[in-house]
Structures are given as structure tokens and as C-alpha cells.
Amino acid sequence: MIIETDNLTKMYGKKAGCREINLSVGEGQIFGFLGPNGAGKSTLVKMLVGLLFPTSGTARILGKPLGDLEIRRKVGFLPENFRYQDWLTGEELLTFHASLYKMSRAEKARRVPEVLEQVGLADKGRQKVGSYSKGMQQRVGLACALLPDPELVFLDEPTSALDPLGRREVRQIMVELRDRGKTVFLNSHLLSEIEMICDRVAIINKGRIITEGALAELLAGAVEVEMQVEGLSAQLLDELSALYGSYQVEGGLVRLSLKNNEDIPALAEAVVRNGGKLFSLNARQNSLEDLFIDLVKVGDEECLQ
């Protein structure tokens, strides 16, 4: 496992930042970490990169305990509240970080232009970081994180300051990293982004992980269906009720929930068999947003009880 945590907990006085986090992140995947504001996402990442010290529990990164300096040479990190020495040029900033990574002169000479190119700042390397736009600063931060060609990279809201084009470029970078066997730990508010590229996700709320698993498995299941039917007979509605439980009828529109996609042909057949004229049938898979909102809402309700 690339990341393994065992009951990792961070308390701020009596308030929990993260509580009993048990996570396992395997190699060569993009792991999405989601949660509402203040849920403890950044607290976990900060513990894993060595900015915060856990109150209890343990964690291993690339097989070594937290704080191992040799392992840190293989880990990249882009912080959420990124800010860099604005009096350095982009190249100087990267050279400084390359020195912190203890890279040789030859490695620096090779990697600095490479990562600048990778994040789309090849022609901006000699400009002062202070003259960069917010999006460019985020890009140069990403370049710092990618500098040692890390085995594991933590990206905390990596696209928050980017325009749609920039977001797409960063997504491509993450996918390329995964394709090369690297692991990306992505903290993001952008559910669509996570849905697009993540292999596995974990959702955290009020400091606790409330679900974790492969994205495809989490999203598999209930399918919402909307049909436009003419000739809704009592017989047809009885059959729908018997087969699928509750349903809603509004004029000629029927809405109901199926267990999965496999039930759709049987539904269409039932309508036709009972004399209904089926004009359209739209099926919608639950989105990550639906899942996220449902889980966070349930978590909040449980906390209130």
C-alpha cells in the first residue's frame, strides 16, 4: 500500500479535526478525498505530509512511518493555501525546491525546464513569481510538487484557481501520472472532477470517513427513470407498484426508481404489455453529487440524533 492509516486522529483541544481514520490507498491510482468545508480533508493531508502531528494512531507512507525523510524525496505536495516566495523567478523557485529535494545539479538542469513545460509555464520561468496570476502560481506550485517525479503526490484543491482549460490540463497531468504507475491523492471540492478521473474515493464528514470504495461500485445501484406514457391504465400502475414499489405520476410522466440498469427492458415491456404507449424513457444513474449529498445529509442527521 502507498498510504495506510490506522486510527489516525487529530484533536484540536476537544474538537476533532480527524477521528480514527483508516485508509488504504494502493499504487497507481487517483484517490479522491471529498468532504464539506471543515470536514477534516486538509487536516488529514497535513498530517500525512508532516505539517501536523497526529494526536493518536499511526500512518505509513510508501511503507515507512510518517516523517521519514528518505520517503519525502518520493512525495510531492501542493498545499491548498499555496503561496511562494514572490521575489524569486519561477526557475529560481523550482531550483530552490530541487535543492530541498537534494537533487544533483544535472537533475535540476533537466527537471526544472521539464516540469515548467509540463504545467504550461515554459516561457514564464524567468518571470518573478510575484508577477504571476493566481492560476500561474497554482501551476508553479504543481510544478514544485512534480519536481522529484514523485511516487505519490498530494494535491490539495489543485485546480481551485484555474480556468476550465487549466483544469483540463491539470486533469490530464493527473491521468498521465496514474498511467505511469504513480499515485495521486486528490483533495477536491469539484465532484465532477473527481467523478471524471478518480478510481477510488473516500468521503469524510465531521472528521470521520463515512464511505470509501471504488467509484464505480459506489455509483452502481439505483437508477432514476422518467417515462412519458400515454394510456396509463390502473392495471399498468398496479403492475408498476408491484414490481418497483413507489412511483410518481404527473400528467403523462411517470417517475420511478430501479435497482439497476438491467431492469429497464422489463419496465418498457410491462408498459407496452399493459396497453401503454411509451413515447420516451430516460434513465439517470446516481451521480457522485447525489451520493455525496445523501451521505453527508445522513451523517448530519445521525449527529443531530
Per rule CB under 8 A, is residue 200 in the interface with another protein?
no
Amino acid at 98: A
In the list 31, 33, 82, 185, the residue contacting another protein (rule: CB under 8 A) is: 82
Q: Would you call 102 helix, strand, or coil by DSSP?
A: coil
Site size toward another protein, by CB under 8 A: 29
**Please, which residue, 151 or 210, has the CB nearer to another protein?**
151
Per rule CB under 8 A, is residue 132 in the interface with another protein?
no
Q: Which three cell numbers stand for residue 177?
A: 501520472
Q: Tell me whether strands 24-25 and 15-21 are parallel, antiparallel or unpaired.
A: unpaired
Dihedral sign of CA atoms 203, 196, 221, 278 in order? positive
Alpha helices in the chain (DSSP H): 41-49, 69-72, 90-100, 105-118, 134-146, 164-179, 191-197, 215-219, 234-244, 264-273, 288-304
Per rule CB under 8 A, is residue 144 in the interface with another protein?
yes
Contact 32, 185 (CB under 8 A): no
Least Å distance between CB 53 and another protein? 6
In the list 1, 16, 88, 196, the residue contacting another protein (rule: CB under 8 A) is: 88
Per rule CB under 8 A, is residue 96 in the interface with another protein?
yes
Least Å distance between CB 188 and another protein? 17
Q: Which three cell numbers stand for residue 4?
A: 495506510
In the list 56, 58, 65, 87, the residue contacting another protein (rule: CB under 8 A) is: 87
Per rule CB under 8 A, is residue 97 in the interface with another protein?
yes
Least Å distance between CB 73 and another protein? 5
Residue 37: exposed, middle, or buried by beta-carbon count in 10 A (0-12, 13-18, 19+)?
Answer: exposed
Least Å distance between CB 203 and another protein? 24
**Please, which residue, 49 or 202, has the CB nearer to another protein?**
49
Least Å distance between CB 3 and another protein? 14
| 113 CB-side CA count, 13 A | 4
Per rule CB under 8 A, is residue 50 in the interface with another protein?
yes
- Listed as own residue / partner, the contacts of 207-214 with beta carbons closer than 8 Å and 24 or more positions apart are 207/16, 207/17, 207/18, 207/19, 207/39, 207/40, 207/43, 208/18, 208/19, 208/20, 208/21, 208/40, 208/299, 209/21, 209/22, 209/23, 210/295, 210/296, 210/298, 210/299, 211/291, 211/295, 212/23
Stretch that binds another protein, among 45-53, 109-117, 229-237, 273-281 (CB under 8 A): 45-53
**Please, which residue, 51 or 272, has the CB nearer to another protein?**
51
- Residues 238-277, one symbol each (x = binds another protein by CB under 8 A, - = not), give ----------------------------------------
In the list 31, 33, 101, 292, the residue contacting another protein (rule: CB under 8 A) is: 101
For another protein, the binding residues (CB under 8 A) are 46, 49-53, 69-70, 72-73, 75, 77-79, 81-85, 87-88, 96-97, 99-102, 141, 144
